[in-house]
Amino acid sequence: MDEICALTHKHCKPCEGGVPPLSHSEITSLLAQLDGWVLRGRAIEKSFGFKNYYQTMAFVNAVAWLAHCENHHPDMTVSYNQCRVEFTTHALDGLSENDFICAARVDALFKGR
């Protein structure tokens, strides 16, 4: 996917639970809008590769800022030249549109580096 995903223009909505997580068909539809993200259990994830540790940490910090601004925080696994980003909505014990919005924004961040 070379074009900017429409999800990048949305912002996360507060989620305190009380609503069901996305259905499998909703997840499939939203995943089709993303580049390289995969469903793992009740989360979506993607690994990003870098040339060195500095670039990896710059990406991690940029994702942290994005997550802070959207108030939707991923789990990240960091190594020397790779970062795996995983989104889920803990309040729903599943996925919400917020996960896909943030995933699209992380992709845009990565493409813009």
pLDDT in tens, 33-81: 999 999 999 999 999 999 999 999 999 999 999 999 999 999 999 999 9
Asked whether the whole model's pTM tops 0.75, one would answer: yes
Residue with the bigger pLDDT between 2 and 21: it is 21
d(CA 104, CA 87): 11
Crossing angle (nearest 10°) for helices 97-111 and 53-70: 140
Q: Which is higher by pLDDT, 60 or 1?
A: 60
Structure tokens, 77: 């696994």
> Nearest-CA neighbor of 34 among 8, 14, 12?
8
Q: If you average pLDDT over residues 10-39, what whole number do you get?
A: 89
How sure is the predictor about 2, in pLDDT bands with cuts at 50, 70 and 90? very low
User: Is the pLDDT score of 99 beyond 50?
Assistant: yes
At the second CATH level, the architecture of 40-113 is 2-Layer Sandwich (3.30)
Which residues in 1-41 belong to E strands, given as ranges?
A: 38-40
Residue 1 pLDDT level (bands cut at 50, 70, 90): very low
One-letter identity of residue 30 = L
Cross-strand partners of 40: 43
pLDDT given at position 66:
95
Specify the pLDDT at position 3.
52
The pLDDT of residue 22 is above 70: yes
Q: How far apart are CA 77 and CA 85, in angstroms?
A: 7
